């Protein structure tokens, strides 16, 4: 039987961008009281039966990095949905991307936002710092994790975090903190599967009632140059989540899983 979880995630991809917008941006996650029986390999068959909810990325970014971005031509060009759950030690995130031209491995570390890539954002304590426009309001519990492949086909984790008061990332940082990711490509696009240890961003025990900041975005490159399009779960139309948590939604663990 075709895996129900994958079928649901992929089905959501075909929801129209013109559908009524979700303005609450609260994702309700399942909590497993035991260690999740998950292997991080991009195959979501082991998500079957966990009751994970799928959410589409309906917001189309108009600007990114000071450049105007083009909207996706259609859903085959770029569309995506995500699901997430937690166990006592980790968050698990899966993003299913519909992309008829997957381009990865052309950009060096630090510029992978110009390749096809998925970005996951966490705010572990929901403390909002008030900074002037153009300055980061991240604290030590906030970060962007970008997932793509390098020119050798190896999964690469990039993104930004706050170090010494500045946004910074260096190769191997997220991996050294125990974050694990996999990418599985197909003729329809690709799947990113990721495990994030709770201690990277969250200091409280995971369980029902835990609420953190969260966002998911996807970059699209169609021609090997700079990125062409970007979509977001929340209404971050100017692509500012990499430096500001004010554009995040929330991820709330609201029920126990099977």
How far apart CA 116 and CA 40 sit, in angstroms, is 20
> How many C-beta neighbours within 10 Å does residue 168 have?
11
Give the pLDDT confidence of 116-150 residue by residue, as tens digits: 999 999 999 887 776 666 688 999 899 999 999 99
pTM of the model: 0.91
Angle at 84 between CA 11 and CA 120, to 5 degrees: 100
Q: Based on C-alpha coordinates, what's the Rg of the chain?
A: 17
What domain range includes position 45?
4-17+25-256
Task: Answer whether 94's CB lies under 8 Å from 44's CB.
Answer: yes
* Distance from chain centroid for Cα 184: 15
Instruction: Please state the domain count of the chain.
Output: 1
Check which CATH number belongs to the domain holding 35 and give it: 2.60.40.1190
Give the pLDDT confidence of 82-112 residue by residue, as tens digits: 999 999 999 999 999 999 999 999 999 999 9
Greater confidence (133 vs 47) lies with 47
Check pLDDT > 50 for residue 3. Answer: no
Q: What is the mean pLDDT of the chain?
A: 90
Give residue 22's pLDDT band: very low, low, confident or very high (50, 70, 90): low
Residues 172-176 have a mean pLDDT of 94
Give the pLDDT confidence of 59-87 residue by residue, as tens digits: 999 999 889 999 999 999 999 999 999 99
Q: How many Cα atoms within 13 Å fall on the side-chain side of residue 46?
A: 13
């Amino acid at each position: 039987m075709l895996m129900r979880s994958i079928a649901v995630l992929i089905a959501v991809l075909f929801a129209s961008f013109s559908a009524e917008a979700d303005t609450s941006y609260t994702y309700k996650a399942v909590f497993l009281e035991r260690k999740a029986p998950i292997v991080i390999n991009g195959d979501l068959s082991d998500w079957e039966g966990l009751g994970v909810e799928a959410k589409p990325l309906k917001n189309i970014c108009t600007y990114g990095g000071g450049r105007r971005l083009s909207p996706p031509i259609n859903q085959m060009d770029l569309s995506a949905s995500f699901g997430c759950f937690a166990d006592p030690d980790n968050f698990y995130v899966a993003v299913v991307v519909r992309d008829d031209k997957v381009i990865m491995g052309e950009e060096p570390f630090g510029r992978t936002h110009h390749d096809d890539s998925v970005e996951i954002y966490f705010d572990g304590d929901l403390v909002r710092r008030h900074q002037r426009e153009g300055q980061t309001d991240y604290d030590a519990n906030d970060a962007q994790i970008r997932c793509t492949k390098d020119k050798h086909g190896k999964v690469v984790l990039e993104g930004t975090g706050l170090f010494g008061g500045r946004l910074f990332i260096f190769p191997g940082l997220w991996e050294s903190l125990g974050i694990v990711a996999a990418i599985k490509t197909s003729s329809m696009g690709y799947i990113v599967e990721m495990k994030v240890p709770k201690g990277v961003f969250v200091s409280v025990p995971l369980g029902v009632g835990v609420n953190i900041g969260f966002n998911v975005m996807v970059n699209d490159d169609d021609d090997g140059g700079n990125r062409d399009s970007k979509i977001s779960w929340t209404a971050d139309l100017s692509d500012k989540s990499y430096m500001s948590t004010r554009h995040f939604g929330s991820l709330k663990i609201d029920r126990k899983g099977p």
